[in-house]
Structure 1
């Protein structure tokens, strides 16, 4: 029963993200709003970590299984994707490296700020 309560909290936060997406006309997915709401709620102790940790760990453990439908979707649309396969791979690699560099730089900046 405890897991149902934890899952309900996560669903409520996700729903609040959907509500924000509906009322704000920004090009940001509702899931991002939900993540920010959860981050702020955890940070400001509105929600305790223990109240969502069990279900959060479960969802992380089954995450690879959640990618199966996306993989099947790629396989079924291979005929449409094959002409643009190389540009997609290049864009994916370049954007991943860029994200890693930016996150690394920001992390270094935060670490330096905390040392001061």
Structure 2
């Protein structure tokens, strides 16, 4: 029953995200908005409820199965991928570089926000 409650909670957040996106005509996927809402809820709560913990652990243990449809799609469209390998490779390369640079920049900014103030003599408070 615990697992079922956690799955229900995950699906409710997905549904709320879908409804919100469709009502407000937002250019993001509904499940992504639902995930952001769930994240904010968990941040406000400060902890994860046990049913949600159980459901998410069970889903993550079978995460590799979620890649099967993507692999089948790659094989079904292999000819098209082979024909357009240069733009695909360039898009993957540049998006990876941009993501790494953005992640590094965000990490630098947030590490400055959360850095502890230094005391006299250059010693940090520990």
TM-score, length-scaled by structure 2: 0.84
CA distance in 1, matches of 2:14, 2:24: 15
Aligned twin of 1:75: 75
Retained in 1: the 8 A contact 2:13–2:34? Answer: yes
Q: Which residue of 2 aligns with 1:27?
A: 27
The answer on whether the counterparts of 2:13 and 2:38 sit within 8 Å (CA) in structure 1 is yes
Tell me how large the CA RMSD over aligned residues is: 1.5
- What number of residue pairs does the alignment pair up? 115
Give the drift of 1:48.
4.4
Q: What residue ranges of structure 1 are gaps of 5+ in the alignment? A: none
Question: Structure 1 stretches (4+) deviating beyond 6 angstroms?
Answer: none
Larger-gyration structure (1/2): 2
- Structure 2 matches for 1:1-116, cutoff 5 A? 1-45=1-45, 48-51=47-50, 52-115=52-115, 116=117
Matches of 1:72 and 1:65, distance apart in 2: 12
